[in-house]
Amino acid sequence: MKPYLTGHYTPHVDEITAHELTVEGLLPPELSGRLIRNGHNPKPGVTPTHWFKGSGMVHGIRLRDGRAEWYRNRWVRTPALDGAPYMTETGPDLTASTAGTHVIEHAGRLLALCESNLPFELTPELETVGAYDFDGKLTNVMTAHPKHDPVTGELHFFSSSPFPPYLTYHVSSEKGDLIHSAEVPGATASLKHDFAVTERYVVFVEGTVTFDHTETSGIPYAWKDEHPARIGVMPRGQGGAAAIRWFDIEPGSMLHAANAYEDELGRIVLEGPTVDREGFRTSWNWWVGAPERGAVPNSRSFNRQWIVDLGSGTVSERVVDDLVVEFPTINEDRAGRSHRYQYAISFPDDRGIGNFGIVKYDRTTGERQVRHVGDGQLPSEAVFVPAEGGTGEDDGYLLTVVSDLHADASSLLVLDATDVLAGPVATVHLPRRVVAGIHGSWVPDHS
């Protein structure tokens, strides 16, 4: 049995809706909205060749007035869900998507994302509307990790391809209009899963993982020692693509950026977990179900920091911490600006020893808090929600769904982001075990 079809990853075979969930503690009144998570959940009888090839399923929890009104799970109903191929006689079908990586809200639209296809729009109740192409203006794919600018309201994203044009940059206005698109010169077929945006720059990362047509899993990428790792820094706005500069960095692969910003010296600081060759090998083997796989899907993933000095044309980099982490998050009001606090999910070691946990970093003091969950339990990506009237960067809540294999159940934990070691502010008991997923978003009612 493939590892991504067992344990925490055992797919659901149906869709359900449950109302008036049991709540322990008191849900803060500002938690009025929906926590929505996305992940891969192939239909019964389907065994994908790679975890990422499984069809997308969204899980939603509706909170309002101190109540947990509903939970529901729904497949994203794309052509691929019913077996439609990506490649057709006339070329790729950009609607044949798993739509299983992320889900965001922008300009009133809820979008399920997969980086190799168009986004899919969902209703507030998680029913599928259909593929969304920004009124015909988006003619290529959309990354699963777009970036909201908290000041302008713009949505920045990119299209990456193993064939020219390798990289195209896009901007959508706060109202949802696609207002800017530009091909980025100098890019390669390197895997580009995430990126970052500062106040004045767009930051791309090309790692040592690149296109490989011989890869048989259906995800045509592999580690190539000869492929250089680089950071690309591009000015924002019209004409910025032509001025991009590329800087060599140490070999590695970064899947997720925590944040990037410009420091007081005008340098660009970028942070995110990265893996080395061995870490990529063991995690990739897990995703494809190879016999020589690691015990957990991510291993040797350590938080790294790069500082790009545009004046001198140099890059310094260092491993920030020795804890194996992934799924970094921050208070999104600090996106593109200097942040003090950063959150992540910690993993057992590459032998599977230890428990998962929710991590809080204080980048000023260097303090690290780790809230370990119990044996057989798996937390989801910790989503930060600001507290009403909060004045500090960490005044708010972390929302994480913790699934328990022993109890075959899941709960939504609401944690105080100022102290993740404290007891939960509230716990919402869900009607079923939520399948291990990837990314999600808090969608407040006022958005």
Report the distance separating Cα 418 and Cα 103, nearest Å.
26
Length of the chain: 447
CATH superfamily of 3-444: YVTN repeat-like/Quinoprotein amine dehydrogenase (2.130.10.10)
Report the distance separating Cα 220 and Cα 205, nearest Å.
18
Report the distance separating Cα 67 and Cα 62, nearest Å.
8
List the structure tokens of 193: 């899963």
Rounded to two decimals, the pTM is 0.96
Q: What residues are paired with 17 via a beta bridge?
A: 72
Among 238, 233, 240, 237, CA closest to 266: 233
Residues 6+ apart with CB under 8 A from 64: 32, 33, 445
Sign of CA dihedral 36, 138, 247, 336: negative
Please enumerate, by residue number, every residue annotated as part of a binding site.
145, 193, 256, 439
Model confidence pLDDT, tens digit, residues 272-284:
999 999 999 989 9
- Taking phi over 0 as left and psi of -120 to 50 as alpha, with beta for the rest, 242 belongs to alpha
pLDDT of amino acid 295: 75
Model confidence pLDDT, tens digit, residues 186-229:
999 999 999 999 999 999 999 999 999 999 998 999 999 999 99
DSSP, collapsed to helix, strand or coil, labels residue 320 as strand
Report the distance separating Cα 371 and Cα 419, nearest Å.
10
Low-confidence ranges of the chain (pLDDT < 70): 350, 352, 447
Please enumerate, by residue number, every residue annotated as part of a binding site for Fe cation.
145, 193, 256, 439
Q: Are 377 and 402 in contact (CB under 8 A)?
A: yes
pLDDT of amino acid 350: 67
Task: Give backbone dihedrals phi and psi of 184, rounded to 5 degrees, phi first.
Answer: -100, 115
